[in-house]
Structure 1
């Protein structure tokens, strides 16, 4: 009997998982760096323990049950373990493969209306995140809900108040939600240095257009023509980390098509989570964007700023390093480099930057208890710095941390470094 293509794909997935899992020598050097092991001190919530569980399920020595799924779902995919692994085990790939196995089996652990495999979650990921042009049309409605106070009123009076996603929205400022229509090209406002494209993402283009507009402004002022292809879509990270590998590949192919044929030297991203996904298209799917992808901070750090004048900012700025920027892209240092262009600024690292803030894509929705504990650690770290601003380079981290700041009644703005640069450039 000839195996079906689906069976062949499953067998290939299991073989890949077992081969990579066998590379783990169980040395345990990863354990002190794992945020969830730090919280539970359970072997099953450590990278070493999870790899053992994956191997057991893939080889059918142990069942794929809700307990297994719980330990896989508790993983933040921060990949801190990868950065210290002497065997260079591709843990990020392993956890994605494990979640793909779970998804193919149709298992889920219900945790509310926006949990994995819920109808609402699947609708949002399929019809909004995968088709982000629709998000642009929804933004005016979100402006109305927030600006009128209607969303806050609804949260006080119905079950939405228990949903972490909706709880976060009132803390957004109207500055982040302009009625923006994206142009295909934004011309340089100085002597032309080159041409780049900007990856918008899905979440940022909905609720953080200030960062995207600031990026365009800064690049234009530096002499770069910025292209924004209107057929670009979600990077696919949310789908991939939920085990929807086929959809993630489809989105990757759509983005590759969108950015092909442009006269550009790089694709710039402002969210490090998206950046990792774009960068790893080749290793994950065997396809890649036509030009290199680069984080905006790293790109700006290499530029000549001699013609740009900044207004002084005599304030202390704490830098949060997203896991994706620190552990995977290896570009956290550029956060500090670009901010130093602002006169009189005091830039300090947020204590505990080696540990995840708990946002981790949709983790703060799926595992709110763990996510809140990890975020509270960041709140304590910020209080140690007494900083006036907190900057981070990932929209998920910014939203999660800003929610924590608001809950505690603190007055500190959480924003992207490029936004701070743009503000000081605009001040005459």
Structure 2
């Protein structure tokens, strides 16, 4: 009951309609959308070797082709929406590598989102309901406390720092009733919070001759525990001649809602963000997290008449297009490995851009991480919901990174960064120090960010 109360509170704060009143309409809409796109799949199987879950389980039901067949069966009411169906749908990482491989350009990401929407609004009685409620309980608390009121992120940062320096973060993970829970796993991914007293300003003026103005999308997780990346972005943009605006009322991008099938909540957050950026005279809205950026870009493309007031761009894309002739960098004679987030590679199709940016730094050795075509396993909240598969994929990344003997790993998505950094803790204890950071952070450091 607690989860339901929290969910209603969130709906009220976001101005959402009562979900039960719209269930029938949502179900019919989800079925129609599913069938229209799923029917475009010709079952050629070219997607299979690109699917991380199929590669691990070798089950057709865990392949894009198999999932589409099951989804079509459920949408046509030929097969039941039961626990087994939900298991194979939940196992999908939504990495969308299959879309890149598909010769018929089937929008699998949209299919899997609609399938999860169908599950979320259906009244089917699944035996895993109690397990799901435990997982959802943690999410509900986070959503109610933070996402509906994004300013709370800045308020709680000092308490997280206190939570860490007192040893509570480590101590809690050792308690019997915490071990093995999603909460323990979440604690293991939480990095050290350093700039815990920072308060965002509304405007950061350009340095030198002004070329234009942009707005920065802070995100949720990055705003809370990775202020270094956002501050690095502001520093670099300012020194390239751009004034940076930070709208106070911006909130979560809604991607986590979208990929869990909660379409109405995702739409409401998009609307709130559109309003937050609406009155600014800017050239672009910049996102440092490729996951947030990809979601915002796609939502804008789906509703161009109701889009954002300026184009949404991943920071790598925006920076590659700038004139760097007046910017000087300190040399960095180190090997830097580059991880390609799925959202940057498969959705934005911009995986080459971080390599171009890093080439501005003298003496740097930039190498691609082996297996970049495969997901790292973070995938939003996937690492909480499917920890076994997530850890298997993570271990592959750690093994590939260890073989490179790199000093840094750069990745353009906060979720990937936290996931990979947590996997490097064992190597760190063995004396192998690899720092995980965003490409823009490395650029800012070599530009002598204070």
Q: TM-score, normalised by structure 2?
A: 0.90
Give yes or no for contact 2:235–2:449 (8 Å, CA) kept in 1. Answer: no
Give yes or no for contact 1:114–1:121 (8 Å, CA) kept in 2. Answer: no
Question: Alpha carbon RMSD of aligned pairs, Å?
Answer: 1.8
Partner of 1:280, secondary structure, is helix
Note the 1:344-359 alignment, pairs <5 A: 344-359=363-378
Name the residue aligned to 1:417.
439
Partner of 1:160, secondary structure, is coil
Q: Distance in 2 between matches of 1:147 and 1:55?
A: 51
Name the residue aligned to 1:179.
197
- For the structure 1 residues 181 and 427, does the alpha-carbon distance in structure 2 shift closer, same or farther, using more than 3 Å as the test? closer
Name the residue aligned to 2:351.
332
Report deviation, 1:230.
Answer: 0.5
Q: Distance in 2 between matches of 1:114 and 1:10?
A: 21
- For the structure 1 residues 260 and 125, does the alpha-carbon distance in structure 2 shift closer, same or farther, using more than 3 Å as the test? same
Note the 1:106-117 alignment, pairs <5 A: 109=128, 116=135
Note the 1:326-405 alignment, pairs <5 A: 326-405=345-424
Report deviation, 1:136.
Answer: 1.1
Note the 1:237-276 alignment, pairs <5 A: 237-276=255-294
Measured against aligned partners, the alpha-carbon deviations of 1:104-135 in whole angstroms (never above 9, x if no partner) come to 1256646868854x222122124313432111
Note the 1:21-420 alignment, pairs <5 A: 21-105=38-122, 109=128, 116=135, 118-162=136-180, 163-169=184-190, 172-175=191-194, 177-284=195-302, 287-408=306-427, 409=429, 410-420=432-442
Report deviation, 1:283.
Answer: 4.5
The runs of 5 or more residues in structure 2 that have no matched partner are 1-20
Measured against aligned partners, the alpha-carbon deviations of 1:241-278 in whole angstroms (never above 9, x if no partner) come to 11111100000000000010101010000000001110
Q: Distance in 2 between matches of 1:380 and 1:114?
A: 34
Q: Distance in 1 between matches of 2:88 and 2:297?
A: 27
Q: Distance in 2 between matches of 1:5 and 1:235?
A: 23
Partner of 1:225, secondary structure, is strand
Q: Distance in 2 between matches of 1:100 and 1:316?
A: 44
Q: Distance in 1 between matches of 2:77 and 2:159?
A: 49
Count of residue pairs the alignment pairs up: 421
Report deviation, 1:284.
Answer: 4.6
Q: Distance in 2 between matches of 1:386 and 1:197?
A: 37
Partner of 2:447, secondary structure, is helix
Give yes or no for contact 1:311–1:427 (8 Å, CA) kept in 2. Answer: no
Give yes or no for contact 1:115–1:366 (8 Å, CA) kept in 2. Answer: no
Give yes or no for contact 2:150–2:249 (8 Å, CA) kept in 1. Answer: no
Q: Distance in 2 between matches of 1:296 and 1:130?
A: 26
